[in-house]
Amino acid sequence: MAVPKAAARGAFILFEGVDRCGKTTQSTKLVESLKAAGVNAELWRYPDRTTEMGKMINAYLQSSLDMDDGAIHLLFSANRWEKRAAMEKALGDGVTLVVDRYSYSGVAFTAAKEVPGLDLEWCKAPERGLLRPDAVLYLDMPVDAAKTRGGFGEERYETGELQERVRTHFRVLREDWWTIIDASGTIDDVHSKCAAAADEAIQRCREGAELARLWD
Ligand code: DGP
The alpha carbon of 53 and the centre of ligand 1 are apart by a number of angstroms equal to 13
How far, in Å, are 42, 69, 150, 196, 215 from residue 109 at the CA level? 25, 11, 21, 28, 18
- State the Cα angle at 14 between 85 and 120, rounded to 5°: 85
The alpha carbon of 102 and the centre of ligand 1 are apart by a number of angstroms equal to 9
Percent of the chain with pLDDT over 90: 94
Q: Are 198 and 134 in contact (CB under 8 A)?
A: no
CB-ligand 1 contact for 16 (6 Å cutoff): no
Question: From the alpha carbon of 156, which atom of ligand 1 is closest?
Answer: 10
Is residue 33 in a domain? yes
Task: Write down the mean pLDDT value for the chain.
Answer: 96
**Which band of pLDDT confidence, cut at 50, 70 and 90, is reported for residue 151?**
confident
Residue 150 confidence (pLDDT): 84
The residue-averaged pLDDT of 169-188 equals 97
Is residue 215 in a domain? no
Is residue 214 in a domain? no
Question: From the alpha carbon of 76, which atom of ligand 1 is closest?
Answer: 18
Chain centroid, CA 115 distance in Å: 23
Residue 6 confidence (pLDDT): 60
CB-ligand 1 contact for 10 (6 Å cutoff): no
Residue 21 confidence (pLDDT): 94
The residue-averaged pLDDT of 199-204 equals 98
Strands in 96-100's sheet, in edge-to-edge order, are 41-45, 96-100, 12-16, 135-140, 179-182
Is residue 44 in a domain? yes
Q: What is the pTM of this model?
A: 0.96
Is residue 104 in a domain? yes
**Rounded distance, CA 195 to CA 192, Å?**
5
Q: Domain of 117?
A: 12-209
Is residue 2 in a domain? no
The alpha carbon of 105 and the centre of ligand 1 are apart by a number of angstroms equal to 6
Is residue 5 in a domain? no
Is residue 127 in a domain? yes
Q: Please tell me the residue having the least CA distance from ligand 1 atom 16.
A: 106
Per residue in 104-121, pLDDT (tens digit) is: 999 999 999 999 999 999
- The CATH number given to whatever domain includes residue 54 is 3.40.50.300
**Which band of pLDDT confidence, cut at 50, 70 and 90, is reported for residue 216?**
confident
- Count of structural domains within the chain: 1
**Which band of pLDDT confidence, cut at 50, 70 and 90, is reported for residue 5?**
low
